[in-house]
Structure 1
Amino acid sequence: MVATRRLVIDVLKPYEPPTLAFTQQVAEADSVAGVNATLIELDKKVQNLKLTIEGEAIDYDAVEAIVEDLGGTIHSVDQVACGEYIVEDAPTPQD
């Protein structure tokens, strides 16, 4: 099977744990080399985050389990990069 090297996921999480602790725990997954968390929306009870996750062979199930253990939910997988290396998006006229 081809390795997944980047995942961009939309996550809904409660206020606790804070975003810093939440992101650190996702980054502790064995298959994850790094995580970038961006706050997308803030509500009275929840936060919506975009997590950009990179690694040599990301284990989606392990990432999902950590997110759920922390009280979060993955709403969507917005980007996936697979293969020997990450191919960056090329600009097109519609961009």
Structure 2
Amino acid sequence: MTQIRRLVIDVLKPHEPPTLEFAQQVSEADSVAGVNASVIELDREVQNVKFTIEGESVEYEAIEAIIENAGGSIHSVDQIACGEYIVEDAPTPQD
């Protein structure tokens, strides 16, 4: 199976732990080289956070386990880049 180079996921997480700590936990996974976390939506009990995760061979199951252990859940997988390198999206007339 080819390696996952970039994984963009929508995560539903409680307010605790804070997003900073949550992102740091994800970044500590062996297969992760970098993480970007952006709060998308905030309500009284939970947050929706967009995580962009990159590495040479990102292990989805390990990321999922870290998120679940911290009290979160993956709401959706929004983008995956696989192969020898990351291919950036090309603009189309619909964009």
The TM tier, using the shorter chain, reads over 0.9
**Post-superposition shift, 1:17?**
0.3
Distance 1:32 1:40 in 2: 22
Instruction: Tell me the C-alpha RMSD between the 2 structures.
Output: 0.3
Partner of 1:16: 16
| SS of 1:17 mapped into structure 2 | coil
1:44 aligns with 2:49: no
Q: Which runs of 5+ in 1 are unaligned?
A: none
Output one character per residue of 1:6-59: Cα deviation in whole Å (capped at 9) or x when no partner. 000000000000000000000000000000000000000100000000000000
Match of 1:73 in 2: 73
Structure 2 partner of 1:25: 25
In 2, distance between residues paired with 1:38 and 1:19? 9
SS at match of 1:65: helix
> What TM-score, normalized by structure 2, do the two folds share?
0.99
Q: Structure 1 residue runs of 4+, over 3 Å off?
A: none
Percent identical pairs in the alignment equals: 76
| C-alpha distance in 1 between matches for 2:48 and 2:4 | 23
Q: Which amino acid aligns with 2:40?
A: I
Q: Structure 2: where are the runs of 5+ without partners?
A: none
